[in-house]
Every structure is written in C-alpha cells, then in structure tokens.
Amino acid sequence: MSTWTPDRIPIAHAPLPGEALDSWISSYARRLRTTNKGFLHHVGLPAARIDHMLLRLTEPETQALHKATGVRAEVLRAMTLDSYNTFAVNIAAGRRQLERPPAWAFRSSRTRYCPACLRENGGRGMLLWRLPWSFACTQHQLLLADFCPTCHRPPHPWKNSFTGPRQVGACTRDRLDSAAKGRRLPCATDLLHAPAIPLHPDGLVLGAQHRVADLLAVAPEERPQALVELRQLYALAWRVLRGLRTNRDQAPDLVHTVLDECGGMFPAPFPDGSGQAPYRLSGNRGSRRREDSASLQTPHVAAGTALAQVALRGGHRDYERLFEWIVHSDHPSTARDLNLGRVALRWRDSGPDVFARVMAYQDPYTLLHNRLRYASATPTPRRPDRSKADIHRRAAMIPAMLWPGWALRLLPVERLRAPGRVFRVDAFRHGCSGLLLVPGGPADLPYVRAAPLLGNVRAARDRESVEQRVYRDQDLTPLASTLAQLARALDEHGSPIDYARRRATFTEATVELNPDAYRRLILQHGWLAGGEHRQQVMRWYLLLLLTGHSPPPPPRAATRFAWSCTEFRFRAPLPLRAFLHEQAEQNLAAHGIDEPVTWEPPAHWVREVTWPGIAPERVDAAELRTTLDESDTIAPVTEATGMTAEHLRLYFEIDPTVTGPPDHLLGKIRAPDPATRAAVLAPRRLRELYVTERKTTLEIASMAKCAATTVRALLALDNIPLRTLRPETEPPDFLRTWLHREHIEKRRPLSELARECGMSTWGLSQKARRCGITVHPPGGYNGLGHLDLPAQLSPAMEAVIDGREALDRLRTIVQVVGHDSIPAAADSIYGGRHTTLAARIRAIEHRAGFRIIDRDTRPLVPTPRGRDFLREAQQILHIADDAELPRYGSP
C-alpha cells in the first residue's frame, strides 16, 4: 500500500488513456471545484501556462505535478505534444512554440473534437485531436468537428475559469453578438451534442484515418520511415485541395465519392480568401508562405488525406486516374510541356515513391538528357545525386564504345532492316557510352562536357547518331531506361576494368604483337602471313580489345582500312580471334594490369525493358553455328536467324565460338582442312607426337597434310630440339629395323634418310650394307615412301611401282580402260601421242609380267589378272590423293 505524502492532493484523479494534459488539468480542477489557475497555484506552479505545458513540460513542472498528483513523470510527458515532436508536430528548440509541422499546415495547438467522445468521457479530450493528422473518430465513426456550432470559432472546452460556463463540455469563447457588446459573456454552447458528420464504416475517409493512426502509433525507431509516408501523403493531399479549387470539373468519380463521404457540402478550401494552398511551393527553395492556420478545416484534411492515401497505396480501380488528375492539377496549363527540372523542384519534398511516380508520369514528354539525368524511364526515378568526382569515377569504368552485348540489345532490328538505311554503328556505340555519364550527374556537367572523359571527341555527331538517326521516330524509353539503370548499377557495383588507365597506357606505339607467336599460328593453320595491311588490322583489333575504343587508322593505312577492320570483326577465323585475345592478355600482364581482357555488365542489372534489338542470352548459338557452316554468304544467315548483319557482327564479338562466313578478304587465310591440320600441329599434340611417340617429321607432316619443313619450323618455334638419328651410336638391331622399314618397305630414298640422320648419303649407305640392307639406287625410288601403303603388295605391283614416276604409271594404266582403242585413249588422256602411249602400256605390262589391257575387245577392258592389278592400283592412288600436300595460300 503506497504512502500518501504531505504534498499529495488528498483526492486522486487519474488521466484517461491518450488524454491531453490540458484536458486532464481542467478535469482535475473541476473535481477540486477550482479553476485551472487555482489548480496550478496549489501544486506550486503559479506562473505556468497550460498552453505551454501542453507543448512541453519543464523538469520543475513535471516534478511539481508528479508530487501533487502521484502521476508518474513519463505518463505526464506522454500527455504533451512533445511526445510527437519532429514527427507530427515541430516545437521550437529552447522555447515552447509550435513551428511548421513536418507535414500538413496545421501549426496551432487548437483542438478538434468528437461530440460522442466528449459525452462518454465527461467532456475530456484526446491528445490526438491536437495533431494535424486527426480528422475522424474511429471509435464513433464520425468526422471531427472544427468549430463551435454557435460562434463558429475553434472552441476552448477545457478553459476552466470563474467567469466561464459551469457545465462540462461547453464552449468558453466570448460571445460576439450584440447582447454581449461591452461585456465578456461566454458562448456556453453545449459541445457534447454538437452536430457531426457520420462516416461510412468501409469508406475511404475512415480507412485513411486508420492508416494514419497506425503510422502515428509506431515505435520511436520506426518513426523515420513512417514520416516518409506521412510527407508523401501531405504532398499529394494539398495538391488534391488545389485540384478541387482549380480543376474539380475534370476530377474522377472517386474524388466526388470522397467529398460525399465528408458531408457533400464541401466548404471552400481556403476560407481566408487567399486562394492559395496551405503552403505554396514556388520556384525558389524555402519560399513557402504560411497561410492562416484556420484555412484548413477537417473536411479538407479528411478529403485530402483519403484521396492521397488511395493515390499513394492503390487498392482502387481508379487510383491511376486519380494520380494523373493530381499531377495535372498541380500545373494544369503546362502539364505536358513543363521542364522536368522544374517538375522535380516542385515535387522535391514529396518523398521517394511519389517523386518517382511523378517523374515517370512526365517521362514520355521530356527530352532524353533529362530522362537520363532523373532516370525517369526506369522503375525507380530519383533526383540527381552524383558529383563531378562520381561521374569521373564512372567514366573510368566505361569503354569509349558501348559494350557489344548491350549495343546488340539496344540497336533496333526493324530500323536496320529498312531499305536504303546506312547507320554508323560505331558512332551509335560512342554516343551511348557518352550518355552513360548523364544519369544522376550535376547540371554543370552535361553530355557535351562528359563525353570527352571517354576520349570521344565527336560528341555532337555521336549523339545525333543515337537520337536523330538510329532512334529517329522510335520510342526512346528502352534506351533511356537501360542507360540509366546501367549507370546506377556501375556506381553501386563497380567494374573489374579501369578503362581510363587502359586508354592512357595502350596506344598504337605501345601495344605489342608477338611475331613468333603469329608465325606459329599461320604455320599451324596453313595461312598466308599477310602483309603490312594485315598487321595494321590486327593491331587495330588488339587496341579495340584493350581500350574498348575504335582507334583511328595508322599512318600510311590503305584507303579501305576502316572497311577491312569491320570485315575482320565479322569474318576473322576463330583461332585468329583467340590468338589476339591471348596477345591482349600478354599486353596487360606486361604492364602489371590484373584485369580481364573484356567484361560486360550482367543482364540482371537492367529490368523491365523490352529490347528493340536482340538479347544475346536468347540467341541459339548451336543453331547459328549450323547455319553459318552451311552458308557461304551472309544473306542466308540473316534470313534464317532474323538478325541483321550488324547484329551478327556484334554477337560475334561476345561469343568466341562463332564467326562469319569465309571470305577472300585478308589474303585467303583459310586452309583446305584447317581442323585436322590445326589439331595435329597444336603445341601440346605436336610435342606428344614428336617427343613421346617419336614420330618423324615426315610422319607428322603426313598426318597434318603439310610439308615436313612446316613441322620442323613449328618445332623450332616451340623450342623442341630436332631429334637426330645417329647411326654410329644406335644399336645394330635398331638401325637394321629402321632402315628396312624406311628404305625397303616404304621405299624412301637414301638421300632423304641421310638428311634426317644428319649425315652423308655415302656414309648411311655404308652403314646399310654392314647391316645387310640392299641399297636401292637413286633411280629406284618410287616416291611413295611418305604414303601409308598396305603391308603386302602383289609382286606385279611391287615391280610396277619400283623406280621413279610410279604414280604416273599407275594413273596412266587405270585411265586406258573404257576407251574404244589405244589411239582413242591417247587422244583423250595423252595429248594424241598414240605411239608413246602404246609403248608406255607395253612397258608397264612388261614390269607386271602379264597383259593388263585386253586390246581385242571394244571398248578396252582389263584381263582377269589385270582386273586385280587395276583394283590394287586404284587403292594406292586413293591413298596418294588423300595425302596430297596442300598448296600454301589455297582457300
């Protein structure tokens, strides 16, 4: 049981939940049958003012009330407006006076009231009625009253004095009629039974009050976020009131529905006659003029808040139409022509969500530069908040030409298909990269000043290529949205490449192209080396990879250098592209730069955009490769894929597995069978064949279908020492086996084997004789030692192919069959030399030991033994044709 102190008032009077401090003091004074001043004098606060105490209690006031009434200090402070300071109201620091609240224009401590609540609570009122956001009683579903129904002024129901009315809940304002002239007579109107407008339980007004009450009741740590929504509601609500004054005829039906909920007879929005909004926003920041605090009545706040709630949070089928009416009413005469910067200034304090929606609403009617600066085409428009230093940092992450994958998405397909249209795609890419520096940037760094940060010196031409050529009469929304989102994502996530450093490091004079590596590449694939023009084009492409910029032609470049560069990007073989990529990596490593050669922002950085071009992730690479393999020109590829030549060129830059159809552009750089040759002569495979499997250079050359000199050159470039057979150090059995296989079975000339051993022909012949190997004379070489012939040949075939011109003899004999006679065959295959052909046939038959051609039949047919011989000859000729060496530079 608590102890009753001597300073404690013997009669207790507890405050109601949510009651205002002045209401409790007045009720306490009535309970003690005294006045408000008498009560304060009794508790030791004779100089205190209740209206000041309602705003904020000082520490002495708090302790005096607590000592006299027993009410805890925290309960007393919760009964003042200080509990809502900087949230729903603003109390001046160091003095007890209300300033402009964070939202709404209600800046006095006057109260609204609910007659039903006054009746139930004995004339005691709630603290919430003092807040500008209170306009309805959710318990009794009534619109709060502003004024006394008799004197039509804000009442003072808790002003308890000896001269005032005695009954509870009466208006204490002075009468203004003639009967009170010269005297102070109280109005004394019974406020407990004042008229009030009932609200529909499921109506928008009551729903808005519930939402506002939830925001006002949040925990202190959640108030900043709740205040954002309150400010957004205020920004929309006072513009609703402006629209009701200036544009009510065009208001949607939803507006009239809310007005009907507020009583139908909506009072003039600004009864003071000023005709202005509660706080008029002008072009200069801070020039807000305060209007009469009594200008906003409860129906105004109720209607404005209810409609603002619908426009902000949705939930109604007409909420988009309502939002458009609000924005249009804010500046009705120039709604679609107003500069976006001026619109942003007018809505600067409206909160992020409302600001974003207003910018999105104005987006289709503004210029591309402003659409980018405010990101108004994106899902989240925002105010420009980047400094010059931020833009310089962003420029270091952007190549001079837009990444090929993003250019592929943004380049309109239908635009490029138009007949007679020629576009500079490089200029378009330069312009897009320059425009990436505009989003969020300061006003004093426009596009023409920002583009040179990327090295783009023709900014005006590049921008004209974007807007006036490629996107002429096209919807700019995909472009504006994509560039703004990419810029914001780059600022947030960064890039692994510092293009500013690369642009300063790599130039035509500093970039290096390894000549030995290039020589190995052309030997491996059987290409011509090309001249200075090829070297210039490759160095140009290398700079393009490193800097993301299309460098100017070098001195003494060919007239069609630019065209050759474009075709190189389009048709360069995949091994050559891979080689240049490796060269770019080596150049980066040489300068101590640990970065990938190329990089592109991921696709998920940009959302809610319908591409006018082609998204790389949607291209079927396998189908495209198949189409390219089956096509000799670009036309069938574009028809099959739906892509233009420009889109294909851009796609080839990002997919290392495809390239354009072959062409004779750069010196016929394709070999007859590049896959087989390149696979055999690859560095690892070549080392494996020569070192591990101990294949000879001729054997490897036969496998790759190239010359042995090419194999030896590649071995030298790969730093693989040539293996030399030294008969004087080899075991006799090995030497005998090797000579028998190479000289006897394969019939390779001894001179060739001597070169491979690194010794003279005479010295090797002496070694062969000591090993019991019969040495064929030079004339006995048949030229078939490089062929992989069947292990067992017939004796007749052995005799025919012995010696020089073996293949020529076989080709001659197999072509005779089928002609009417020897002279007819000579006319067809031997230049009409009848006698010579007949003698050649007899010589071949003499070697074989039997007649091969039956001359008694018409046409000529082989004899039974000759049929088997010719079948064997055809097999050898097929092997020889398959192993025929390619000519250098053949396409």
Residue 228: burial class (beta carbons within 10 Å; 0-12, 13-18, 19+): middle
Give the predicted TM-score (pTM) of the model: 0.69
Model pLDDT, residue 94: 82
Q: Is residue 744 predicted with pLDDT exceeding 80?
A: no
DSSP string, 337-406: TS-HHHHHHHTTTS-HHHHHHHHHHHGGGS-HHHHHHTTTTSSS-------HHHHHHHHHTS-SS--HHH
Q: Is residue 161 predicted with pLDDT exceeding 90?
A: no
Mean pLDDT of the 328-350 span: 71
DSSP string, 467-515: IIIITTTS--HHHHHHHHHHHHHHHHH--S--HHHHHHH--TTT----H
Q: Is residue 293 predicted with pLDDT exceeding 70?
A: no
Question: How many Å apart are CA 224 and CA 213, to the nearest integer?
Answer: 15
Question: How many Å apart are CA 820 and CA 501, to the nearest integer?
Answer: 80
Instruction: Among 159-173, 206-220, 365-379, name the one with the lowest average pLDDT.
Output: 159-173
Q: CB–CB of 472/423 below 8 Å?
A: no
Question: How many Å apart are CA 667 and CA 533, to the nearest integer?
Answer: 10
Question: How many Å apart are CA 665 and CA 207, to the nearest integer?
Answer: 74
Question: How many Å apart are CA 822 and CA 817, to the nearest integer?
Answer: 9
Model pLDDT, residue 81: 92
Of 683, 722, 712, 667, nearest in space to 888 by CA: 667
Q: Is residue 440 predicted with pLDDT exceeding 70?
A: yes
Share of the chain above pLDDT 70, in %: 86
Confidence of residue 888 (pLDDT cuts 50, 70, 90): very low
Question: How many Å apart are CA 159 and CA 39, to the nearest integer?
Answer: 12
Beta bridge partners, 98, equal: 91
Q: CB–CB of 208/309 below 8 Å?
A: yes
Model pLDDT, residue 449: 87
Model pLDDT, residue 398: 94
Q: How far is CA 85 from CA 90, 98, 289, 473, 553, in A?
A: 5, 10, 22, 54, 69
Mean pLDDT of the 742-762 span: 72
Confidence of residue 480 (pLDDT cuts 50, 70, 90): very high
Of 277, 293, 176, nearest in space to 236 by CA: 277
Q: Is residue 211 predicted with pLDDT exceeding 90?
A: yes
Of 395, 396, 376, nearest in space to 384 by CA: 376
Model pLDDT, residue 467: 86
Q: What is the pLDDT of residues 660-696, one digit of tens each?
A: 876 544 444 444 566 788 888 888 998 888 888 878 7
**C-alpha atoms less than 13 angstroms from C-alpha of 196 in its C-beta half-sphere:** 24
Q: What is the pLDDT of residues 714-726, one digit of tens each?
A: 888 888 887 666 6
Q: What is the CA radius of gyration of the chain?
A: 49
Model pLDDT, residue 817: 87
Q: Is residue 225 predicted with pLDDT exceeding 80?
A: yes
Of 336, 332, 339, 263, nearest in space to 303 by CA: 263
Q: Is residue 808 predicted with pLDDT exceeding 50?
A: yes
Contacts with 277 (C-beta within 8 Å, 6 or more apart), sequence order:
238, 239, 241, 242, 270, 291
Mean pLDDT of the 221-242 span: 90
Residue 220: burial class (beta carbons within 10 Å; 0-12, 13-18, 19+): exposed
Question: Encoding tokens for residue 577?
Answer: 């592209």
Side chain identity at residue 384, one-letter code: P
Q: CB–CB of 657/499 below 8 Å?
A: no
Q: What is the pLDDT of residues 508-564, one digit of tens each?
A: 889 999 999 999 988 888 887 778 888 888 999 999 999 988 888 888 777 788 888
Model pLDDT, residue 157: 76
Share of the chain above pLDDT 90, in %: 27
Contacts with 859 (C-beta within 8 Å, 6 or more apart), sequence order:
817, 818, 819, 820
Average pLDDT over the chain, rounded to an integer: 82
Q: Tokens 């003690």 label which residue?
A: 32
Phi and psi at residue 644, in whole multiples of 5°?
Answer: -85, 170
- Running DSSP on this structure, what letter comes out for residue 213? H
Confidence of residue 432 (pLDDT cuts 50, 70, 90): very high
Q: Is residue 887 predicted with pLDDT exceeding 50?
A: no
Q: Is residue 291 predicted with pLDDT exceeding 60?
A: no
Q: Is residue 191 predicted with pLDDT exceeding 50?
A: yes
Instruction: Among 265-279, 643-657, 680-694, 802-816, name the one with the lowest average pLDDT.
Output: 265-279
Buried b vs exposed e over 511-533: b needs ≥16 C-beta within 10 Å?
beeeeeebebbbbbbbbebbeeb
Name the helix (H) or strand (E) containing 677.
helix 674-680
Beta bridge partners, 19, equal: 126
CA 3 from centre of chain: 72
Mean pLDDT of the 387-401 span: 93
Model pLDDT, residue 275: 36
Model pLDDT, residue 281: 33
